[in-house]
Amino acid sequence: MSLSRIGKLPIEIPSGVTITVDSGDVTVEGPKGKLVQFITPAVDVKVEDGTLTVHPKDESQQARAQHGLMRALINNMVIGVTKGYEKRLEVNGVGFRVAATNNELEMSLGFSHPVKYKAPEGITITNEKMVIVVSGINKQQVGQVAAEIRAIKKPEPYKGKGIKYVDETILRKAGKAGKK
C-alpha cells in the first residue's frame, strides 16, 4: 500500500518555533503561544535538523488513516503559533448592532433581549462595524467559536438577515407570488 500523500510531506519548522516530542505528546511553541497535541500510538513523530516527519508504525489500516491526520494537525499547530487563525463573520439586518468589549460580544439581533457571547480562553473577538473577527492559535477552536456565534442568528434565505461567514453565499429565495 502507498503512504498518505499529505502524511509523507515533511513539515519545515520556521525560526522561532520549537517542537518537542515526548511520551505520546507533541508540543509546538512559537511567538503567538504554545499548543499541545497527543500523538496516536499508530504513528511515529520525529524531529531532525529543522524538519518534522510523521511515519506510520506499521501498514495497518488504522496507522495509514492516522498518518495524514497527525501530520495535518501538527502542521495546523505550526501555522497557528506563527501566523494564527481568524474567521470573519458578517452581521446583516436593519437595527442589528454588535459591540465587542474585552472578549465579550454584545449583539442586538432582533430578539427581545441583547445576546451576550463570552469568548473561551485563547480566543480573541473584535469587531469592525458589522464584521466580527474571531482569532486564535488553535484552528479547531477558532472554527468552533465562529460556528457558535453564527448559530445564534443564522442567515435567513429571503432577506439574508442574520450572521454569516464573510466568504459564505446565502441562497436567496423569491418571496410570495402575488395573486393574479
- For the chain, give every residue range classified as CATH 3.90.930.12: 11-82, 85-165
Predicted structure pTM score: 0.83
Considering only CA atoms, which of 110, 106, 105 is closest in space to residue 161? 110
Per-residue pLDDT, 85 = 92
Using one digit for the tens of pLDDT, what is the confidence trace for 19-46?
888 888 888 888 888 888 888 888 888 8
Considering only CA atoms, which of 28, 9, 118, 109 is closest in space to residue 68? 9
- 3-state per-residue secondary structure call for 78-93: HHHHHCCEEEEEEEEC
Spell out the residues 6+ positions from residue 161 whose beta carbon is closer than 8 angstroms to its own.
92, 93, 94, 96, 110, 153, 155
Q: Cα separation of 2 and 180, whole Å? A: 65
Question: How high does pLDDT run on average in the chain?
Answer: 87
Per-residue pLDDT, 173 = 85
The fold of 11-82 is Outer Surface Protein A; domain 3 (3.90.930)
CATH homologous superfamily of 85-165 equals Ribosomal protein L6 (3.90.930.12)
The 43-48 sheet, strands edge to edge: 11-12, 51-56, 43-48
